[in-house]
Amino acid sequence: MKGFQIFRRASTAIRNRATPSKLLIVLTFGAAGGAFLAISDDSPFRSLTAGESGNDGGKKKKLVVLGTGWGGTTFLKNLKTSAYDVHVVSPHNYFTFTPLLPSVTNGTVEARSIVEPIRNIVRNKPYNVEFKEAECYRIDPVNKKVYCRSIQNLGHGENEFALDYDVLVIAMGARVNTFNTPGVEEHAHFLKEVDDAQKLRRSIIDCYERASLPTISEEEKKRIMHFVVVGGGPTGVEYAAELHDFASQDLASLYPSLKDYLKITLLEAGNHILPMFHKKVTDFANEKFQKDQIDVKTGSMVVKVSDKDISTKNRATGQIEAIPYGVVLWSTGIATRPVIAEFMEKIGQAGRRVMAIDEWLKVQGCDDVYALGDCASIAQRKALEDAAAIMKTVDKNNAGAVDVGDFKEFVKDIYERYPQVRKYLEKNKLKNFEALLRNAQGDSQKKIDIEALKKALSEVDSQVSFLPPTAQVASQQGKYLAACFNKAGRCEKKPEGPFRFQENAGRYPFHPFSYKHSGQFAPLGGEQAAVQFPGDWVSIGHASQGLWYTVYASKLVTWRTKVLVVSDWFRRFTFGRDSSHL
């Protein structure tokens, strides 16, 4: 009895105490302690202490957050002000650690280990928060309302509700892009949500069990045991590698008669797999897949998927081939959700591929609405568009031309407002902005006029680029936006952002969002991974896989998920993956 009470007290303490003390308690009670010590909590989801509080005396503003993925959850975790009543709407009442979804498809990690209930994440925050398990189906920016539909089946008229907002944060992510390929929605698997990963896991085991039945013909067995992955990006490649490991390390010994029937094919419409990685990584992945007998077909565009065949068109020859398959995973990138597309039409962004936000994450053409993550893209202001405004600011005497040195006072602001300038200088090994202007003028003695400035700025605009749709970007944006909300009052009085050249007066309240890329991984199976750090520094092999384990364990959102995932990894190393047909 006494032992049970001690256990109950410890359990309550673990659930209620702050993060570092949880670790201490876990270690004190000796539950596989040594292993967890190896993980450092450098995640953006660290518990925050209450910071500046808002004006609780007056009526609080209503802040509605749509989505509980990387962007929305990081925003909520980092929001420290009590100035808002927060309402969160999402069809999932949990956050999913998407980088480990491929590991869920084969049971390396269990589904529940990579999710954290959103109510757990936002409890003990300094703001009032309510969560609604529903999906938003319409945004009305004129009346400042979002229309939502519960995912519970409550019956006529009870499923739908509307929420007013003073400030709206859209973090709804994106949908899978099928490119309207016939049959994809009906027959292919996707890998965006936990449900998808679980379905995929069941389908693989389903194929093995079906192919083991005595009534199945040889030809049918070959078809059932053919697993096709469409899309040679990081997710498709990682899934193919994970599937190969599952099949060769676990299923081969459990289903020995099917070993020779297994076939994995990776179809990619472009010329290379992993096109965003260094050539060394692509070459290594190709070689590894060749050794593992994963058939990589580049230049192969899928044109149709039926229940048993996938039709591909060879981009070089135009030849169409029908490939029989057992399971197909569709992983070819993302597209805008219909609710966002409809909202974009309302705010004058029709025709754009992705919703445009400014450098402060505010939706362009709409007040009090911010967006982050995969559902939006920063439309970086072109420096050339502001050439005349910059000249007017620098040319205080209205002389029509200025000395290069006259820009000195504004160079820091130019660098911050137009980050493409710095990128251009680095790329072209130019020492500073003055060097760029001198190059454009062509005569180091002459003053700089508007034409020379335009010439210089038109060149730098070539360096404007879009951020990739990744968790890294979404979470940094969530953290940035929360920081802006937290310090809004202070920055209104004392703006910290760059000079407003267009208005020729004052400063922006905040620094614009600036993305810091910390590298990307490509797990390639067989306990090997590739990692590419900024500056194109590449490392491939077992050590990189070790780094992958460490980084992903440390990035998991809470200590609970860290512990679960690490113990799943130990379980897998010790007992192999579970092939039960649940």
Ligand X SMILES: Cc1cc2nc3c(=O)[nH]c(=O)nc-3n(C[C@H](O)[C@H](O)[C@H](O)COP(=O)(O)OP(=O)(O)OC[C@H]3O[C@@H](n4cnc5c(N)ncnc54)[C@H](O)[C@@H]3O)c2cc1C
Residues of the shown chain interacting with ligand X in the complex, contacts defined by CB under 6 A:
66-72, 89-92, 98-99, 101-102, 135-136, 171-173, 191-192, 235, 339, 373-375, 469-472, 474
Which is it for the CA torsion 443, 447, 451, 454, positive or negative?
positive
| CA 444 to each of CA 430, 435, 437, 448: distance values in angstroms, whole numbers, following the listed order | 15, 9, 9, 9
Q: Which two tokens stand for residue 46?
A: 């660290």
What SS3 state is found at 262?
coil
CB of 267 to ligand X, least distance (A): 17
Maximum alpha-carbon separation in the chain: 91
Q: Are strands 175-176 and 334-335 parallel, antiparallel or unpaired?
A: antiparallel
CB of 196 to ligand X, least distance (A): 8
CB of 474 to ligand X, least distance (A): 3
Our CB check for ligand X shows the closer of 91 and 495 to be 91
Helices (H), 61-100: 70-78
Rounded to 5°, angle at Cα 328 from 208 and 286: 100
CB of 475 to ligand X, least distance (A): 8
CB of 333 to ligand X, least distance (A): 10
Q: What is the DSSP string of 521-536?
A: EEEEETTEEEEEETTT
Q: Which residue is nearest to ligand X (CB)?
A: 69
CB of 556 to ligand X, least distance (A): 12
Hey, which residues does 149 pair with through a beta bridge? 135, 160
Q: Which two tokens stand for residue 354?
A: 């992705």
Question: What Rg do the C-alpha atoms of the chain give, in angstroms?
Answer: 27
Our CB check for ligand X shows the closer of 103 and 463 to be 103
Nearest by Cα to 564 from 199, 27, 115 = 115
Rounded to 5°, angle at Cα 61 from 481 and 490: 50
Return all residues near 181 (Cβ < 8 A) that are at least 6 apart: 302, 303, 304, 305
Our CB check for ligand X shows the closer of 43 and 68 to be 68
Return all residues near 167 (Cβ < 8 A) that are at least 6 apart: 61, 62, 63, 64, 84, 368, 369, 370
Which is it for the CA torsion 16, 18, 20, 21, positive or negative?
negative
Our CB check for ligand X shows the closer of 71 and 232 to be 71
Our CB check for ligand X shows the closer of 91 and 182 to be 91
Nearest by Cα to 279 from 534, 530, 468 = 530
556 within 8 A of 43, measured Cβ to Cβ: yes
Our CB check for ligand X shows the closer of 338 and 348 to be 338
The b-or-e profile of 400-428 (16+ CB within 10 A means b, else e) is ebbebebbeebeebbbbbbbbbbebbeee
CB of 236 to ligand X, least distance (A): 9
Our CB check for ligand X shows the closer of 393 and 561 to be 561
| Distance from C-alpha of 67 to C-alpha of 313, rounded to nearest angstrom | 37
Our CB check for ligand X shows the closer of 460 and 557 to be 557
Our CB check for ligand X shows the closer of 71 and 419 to be 71
Our CB check for ligand X shows the closer of 223 and 577 to be 577
228 within 8 A of 323, measured Cβ to Cβ: yes
Our CB check for ligand X shows the closer of 181 and 472 to be 472
CB of 319 to ligand X, least distance (A): 31
CB of 235 to ligand X, least distance (A): 4
CB of 470 to ligand X, least distance (A): 3
Our CB check for ligand X shows the closer of 102 and 512 to be 102
Residue 276 CA, chain-centre distance (Å), reads 15
Q: Are strands 528-533 and 537-541 parallel, antiparallel or unpaired?
A: antiparallel
CB of 134 to ligand X, least distance (A): 7
CB of 135 to ligand X, least distance (A): 4
